[in-house]
Amino acid sequence: MLSIDDDGFDEDAIKARVERQIEALGAPMYEIFMETGASLSIDLERGSLKNAEIGKDSGIGLRVANKLGQTAFSYTSQTDAQSIEKMVKNAISIMQMATPDPDFKSFANKAAIINLPGRVVFDPAIERITIDDAVQLVNGALESARSNPDPRVYSVNVSFKASCTRISLFNSNGIDAREKQSDAILTCDVTVKDGGEMSSDYDFTSGRDLQRISVDVGAKATGLALKTLGKVKIKTGFYPVVLGTRAVGTVLAGAIASGINAELVQQGMSFLGEKVGKAIAPDHFSLVDDPRLENGSRVLSCSFDGEGFPTRRKAIVDAGMLETLLHNSYTANKAGVENTGNAVRSGYTSPPRISHFNLVVQPRRDHVVHDLYNGIKRGIYFDQTYDSPNMATGDFSGMISSGFLIEDGTITSPINQATFGVNLLDLFNSIEAYGDKVDDRAGIISPAIRLKGMHVSGNL
C-alpha cells in the first residue's frame, strides 16, 4: 500500500532535467533535494473508527548560489519540464536579489557516506502495510487500554500513522546521496474521570520498523492516566526534583541540543554561545548526538544529513564539558570548523535547518543509582512540560503539565497545578544522580535524572 518503488518518480531523470535548466539559466552552485513518499494514517475515537487517510507526496527543493554568496530556495511538487523550469527561474531570479554573503563558500562538500544497513532505516513490512493491518493495530491498542476494568477510564482515543519515503540529494560538489526511510507511530490517549475530577495521559510507540510498534501502549497509557487522578495542591517553594524521561527531552537533552545550534549561536541568540570548551554540567554527565544508532526506536537515524553530508556520532557534552556546536555547511564554513552534518530537512518545501538526531544521555556509572527517590523527604517528580525556554538567556519558566509529589522517598500523589522557574545552566549543574532504567522515547534515550532542585509554584 505504501510502496514507493514504482511511483514513477525517477530521480535520475528529474536531476538531469533540473541540471539542464540550471545550466541554461545560470547558477554556479546548486543543491537538489528530492523526496517521494506515501503515508497511511487511521484514527479511532472512543472505540469507533473515525477516518483513514492515504497521502502520496513527492517534490523537489532547489537551492542555488553564486560566487557572491547570494543564495535562494524554491520548490515544486510537479516534475514536468514546465514546472521545473518555473522553479529554477524562480530560484535564480530571487537569488539575484539576495544579500551577498561572504560567509557563504559552497554547499556541502562531497565526503564518503557510509550507508547505515538498510534494515536500520527502512522496514519493508511498513511498505507492505494494509489498512486492515492498521485497523488491527489501533483495535489492539484499544483492547489493551480497555483490559483495565477500572470504571474511572472515560475515553480512549488511538491513532496510527506509517510512512515510507525515498530521499535523495545532489549538489554541484558532486554529492549523490540516496536513502529509503520508514516510520511508524501508534499513540493512545486516555481520559479518566473520578467524580468531578478529570485528567488524562498518553503513551506512544514509534520506530523505523513495525516490530517496535506494540499494542501494549494502550495499557501503558491507561496506567499513566489513572495515576494522574487524586491531584493534590502544593505550596510554593524550592523542591528537590526528579526529571522523568519525557521531561529530560524538553528541559535537559533537548534544551542543550537546541542551544548549540550554530546558526542560533552565530546570530547571538543562544545562552550556550560562549560555552564551548567549558563545563556546563557536572563531570558525571555526558550527552551524545547519535544519528548512527542501529538499535532501539532509532527514529532519527540516517546515513546523511539534509545537505547530503555524512552523519556522525559525536559527544555534545563529555564529562560535563560542552564539546561542540551543531553545524551545517554554512555555519561550519563561517566558523572555519568541520561540518558536523546536522542539517535537517522537514520536507522538500523548505530549506534545511540545523537540528540534533537521537540524543543519548550517558551518566558516569558511579552516579547511577537503583533508587533515585531514596533520601528525598519532600520533592517533585517532574514528568512533563510543553513549555520552551528563552534560548537567549537560558531562563525557563513554565507549567508542570504532569508531575507528582515525592514524600519520604516514594512517589505519592499527582500535583494539581504547578509552575516552575529555573535558569538552564543552574539546572544542568544541579544534576545529582541517574536512575538505572533507560527509556527510549522518540529519539531521546535517557534514564530519569535527579536534580538538586528548582523553584516550583503551587496554589496551596
Specify the amino acid at residue 344. Answer: V
Stretch 305-324: interaction string toward other proteins, x if CB under 8 A: --------------------
Interacting residues with other proteins between 236 and 265 (CB under 8 A): 236, 238, 263
Interacting residues with other proteins between 375 and 394 (CB under 8 A): 386-388, 390, 392-393
For other proteins, the binding residue among 135, 315, 335, 438 (CB under 8 A) is 135
For other proteins, the binding residue among 397, 411, 413, 452 (CB under 8 A) is 397
The verdict on 76 binding other proteins (CB under 8 A) reads yes
The verdict on 419 binding other proteins (CB under 8 A) reads yes
For other proteins, the binding residue among 49, 276, 337, 438 (CB under 8 A) is 49
The verdict on 214 binding other proteins (CB under 8 A) reads no
Q: What is the DSSP string of 270-292?
A: -TTTT-TTSB-S-TTEEEEE-TT
C-alpha pair distances (Å), 160 with each of 135, 139, 218, 233 = 9, 10, 12, 36
CA distance 153 to 192: 4
Nearer to other proteins, 22 or 120 (CB): 22
Q: CB of 261: closest distance to other proteins in angstroms?
A: 13
Q: Are strands 353-354 and 343-344 parallel, antiparallel or unpaired?
A: antiparallel
DSSP state of 245: H
Interacting residues with other proteins between 275 and 304 (CB under 8 A): none
The verdict on 143 binding other proteins (CB under 8 A) reads no
Q: CB of 195: closest distance to other proteins in angstroms?
A: 13
Q: CB of 248: closest distance to other proteins in angstroms?
A: 19
Nearer to other proteins, 166 or 292 (CB): 166
# residues near other proteins by CB under 8 A: 84
Interacting residues with other proteins between 327 and 386 (CB under 8 A): 349-351, 386
Question: Which residues have a Cβ under 8 Å from the Cβ of 149 and sit 6 or more positions away?
Answer: none
φ, ψ at 367 (rounded to 5°)? -110, 10
Q: Identify any residues that bridge with 419 across adjacent strands, giving them in sequence order.
A: 399, 457
| In contact, 364 and 259? CB cutoff 8 Å | no
The verdict on 74 binding other proteins (CB under 8 A) reads yes
At residue 75's C-alpha, the angle toward residues 73 and 79, to 5°, is 145
Burial of 336 (0-12, 13-18, 19+ CB in 10 A): exposed
Interacting residues with other proteins between 149 and 208 (CB under 8 A): 154-155, 157, 189, 191, 198-200
Question: Which residues have a Cβ under 8 Å from the Cβ of 236 and sit 6 or more positions away?
Answer: 455, 456, 457, 458
Nearer to other proteins, 160 or 434 (CB): 160
Q: CB of 172: closest distance to other proteins in angstroms?
A: 19
Helices (H), 241-325: 245-247, 254-259, 262-266
Interacting residues with other proteins between 423 and 452 (CB under 8 A): 423
For other proteins, the binding residue among 46, 119, 128, 313 (CB under 8 A) is 46
| In contact, 186 and 141? CB cutoff 8 Å | yes
